Amino acid sequence: MKSWKIVNAKNSDGVIEEILIHENLIVRDFPQEVSPEIIDASGLTVMPGFVDLHTHLREPGREDAETVLTGSLAAVAGGFTAISAMPNTLPVADTAGVVEQVFRLGKSHALCDVFPIGAVTIGQKGSHLAELSAMNQSEAQVRIFSDDGHCVADPLVMRRALEYVKTFDGVIAQHAQDPRLTENAQMNEGAVSARLGLKGWPAVAEEAIIARDVLLAEHVDSRLHICHLTTAGGVEIIRRAKERGIKVTAEVTPHHLLLTDHSAESYDPVFKVNPPLRSEEDVLALRQGLADGTIDIIATDHAPHPNEAKDCEWSAAAFGMVGLETAFSIGYLTMVQSGLMSVKELVERMSGAPARIGKYAGHGSITIGAPANLVLIDLESSWVVERHLLHSKSKNTPFQGMELPAVVMKTFHNGALVYNRAHDKKQVRDGGKN
C-alpha cells in the first residue's frame, strides 16, 4: 500500500496541517526508506471521514435499488468512511447470518467500513425480539438495533429490547411513528396537505412515541437513539430528556434541514419521504436543535429506490430519498453558511459524534496512530446535482439541478485513496477546480 504525505491542508480550525499516512495509519514520521506520494492540498480542508448511522443498502434481496458496492461508492464520493446498513432487506437482517453477510460484503469491497444494524424484532414485525445477542456476538459485532421503517409500537417489546441491549451497551434506534395515527398517511398534516387533498401525518404521531420511549429509557437506564427527528415538539422533548440525564441521542437528516412540505405541491414523488417533510417552523427548530447540541448528529437516511417506485402517482410511490453524496453540502449550506455553527461543529455532528454513538473504533478523529480515515473538501467551490451522475444505483434525489457548496475532492479509508474527484468518471461541475 502507498504511503502518503498530505501538505498545505487546513484543518477545521483553519490551521495548516501536514498529515503522514503509512501502512493504513496516520503517523508522526516515516521510516527512512519510505518515499511517500505527496498530495498538495492547498485550498482544501481536511476532516475526519464522515460516519453515517442510517443508510439503506438494500442488499440482500433488493439489489435493483442498491447494493453494498454501489452504496459504498456513493458513500466515499460523499466523504463517508463508515456507514450503517439498515436491516430492512430481504431477508430482514434479524439473524447473525444476515448481518455477517452484509458485513463481509463491505469488507470485500474495502471502500468504507460497513456496519450492519440489526432488526429489533423478528421480521421487523414488532412482536418478538430478534437474535440481539447473537448479532452482537457475531463477526459483525452489532451494537445498534432498529426496525426502521417500522416503529416498535408495543411498549412492552420496546422495554424488553432496551433491557436486553443494556447488557452489552447496545442502543435501540427507534423509528418514531405511531402506526394508528399515521394509517395511509402521505405527507405532513397541515395546511398544505389539506389543500392538496393528501392524507396527513400529524407531528404528534412522532412526538408521542419519542415521549414514551425516553421515559422507558429512563426507567431501564439504557441507551435510546431517535431516528430522523422532524418536529419542533420532538426537539423539545429530546432537549428536556437530556436535561434530566436520560441516555437519549437523536439524528436529523439533511433533507429535513432544508426542505418543507411545500415541496409536495409539485406532486413529484421524489419529495415523498418517511417521516415526511414538515413545516418551515419545524425546519428552523431542527436547525437550532442541531446547533445547540440537542440533536447529536446528521444522518442521511439514504433510501434508494428503482425508477418505477418513484415514477408513478404520489399515493403509489415509495417513501425515501438518496442522500449520501449531498449530505455534507446540505449540512454546510443550512448550518455553516447560515451562521448557525462553525465548520468544526458540523464535522463533529457528521463524524465524531456518530462514531461515539455507534462505538465505531478508528473513526471520528484524525489522530496519530489511528487508521487514516479522512476526507479533503474544497469549501470554496460548488457543484450542481445531476441525478444521472450520482454513484448510487438509484437516482431519487430531491436536489436535482441545485447548485450546492462544498466539493468532496479525496476520501481516504484505512490509508487507501478510495475516492479521487480528479479521476472520477462521473465527475460533475466543481467550480473549475480538480
Tens digit of each residue's pLDDT (9 = 90 or more) over 179-231? 999 999 999 999 999 999 999 999 999 999 999 999 999 999 999 999 999 99
Which string of DSSP letters, residue by residue, matches 18-81? EEEEETTEEESS--TT--PEEEE-TT-EEEEPEEEEEE---TTT-TTT--HHHHHHHHHHTTEE
CA distance 131 to 114: 20
**Domain 48-358 is classified in which CATH homologous superfamily?**
Metal-dependent hydrolases (3.20.20.140)
Check if the beta carbon of residue 51 is closer than 8 Å to that of residue 22: no
In a 13 Å sphere around the CA of 429, the CA atoms on its Cβ side amount to: 12
Contacts of residue 301, defined as CB under 8 A and 6 or more positions apart, other chains included, come to 54, 55, 56, 227, 228, 253, 255, 273, 320, 321, 323
Cβ count near 285 (within 10 Å): 22
* C-alpha separations of 145 from 131, 396, 418, 426 in Å: 10, 26, 28, 34
CA distance 252 to 367: 27
Share of the chain above pLDDT 90, in %: 96
Domain with CATH 3.20.20.140 in the chain: 48-358
User: Mean pLDDT over residues 90-95, rounded?
Assistant: 98
Among this protein's residues, is 261 annotated catalytic?
no
- pLDDT at position 66 over 70: yes
- pLDDT at position 259 over 90: yes
pLDDT (tens digit per residue) in 373-423: 999 999 999 999 999 999 999 999 999 999 999 999 999 999 999 999 998
Confidence of residue 1 (pLDDT cuts 50, 70, 90): confident
CA distance 96 to 102: 10
CA distance 153 to 219: 17
Domain with CATH 2.30.40.10 in the chain: 4-45+369-423
Confidence of residue 431 (pLDDT cuts 50, 70, 90): very low
Check if the beta carbon of residue 302 is closer than 8 Å to that of residue 281: no
Q: Which amino acid is at 411?
A: T
Check if the beta carbon of residue 333 is closer than 8 Å to that of residue 287: no
Confidence of residue 424 (pLDDT cuts 50, 70, 90): confident
- pLDDT at position 426 over 80: no
The predicted structure's pLDDT at residue 425: 72
User: Mean pLDDT over residues 289-300, rounded?
Assistant: 98
The predicted structure's pLDDT at residue 430: 41
The predicted structure's pLDDT at residue 429: 42
| Angle formed by the axes of helices 68-77 and 96-109, nearest 10° | 50
CATH class of 4-45+369-423: mainly beta
Mean pLDDT of the chain: 96
The pTM assigned to this predicted structure is: 0.96
CA distance 47 to 45: 7
CA distance 15 to 382: 22
Cell numbers at 251, concatenated: 439524528
- pLDDT at position 344 over 60: yes
CA distance 26 to 413: 11
Q: Which amino acid is at 38?
A: I
- pLDDT at position 427 over 80: no
Check if the beta carbon of residue 34 is closer than 8 Å to that of residue 3: yes
Q: Give the chain's radius of gyration (CA, Å).
A: 21
In a 13 Å sphere around the CA of 107, the CA atoms on its Cβ side amount to: 9
The predicted structure's pLDDT at residue 434: 34
Cell numbers at 29, concatenated: 514520521
Catalytic one of 282, 301, 378, 430: 301
Cβ burial of 40 (10 Å; 0-12, 13-18, 19+) is exposed
Cell numbers at 165, concatenated: 441491549
Q: Are strands 171-174 and 50-55 parallel, antiparallel or unpaired?
A: unpaired
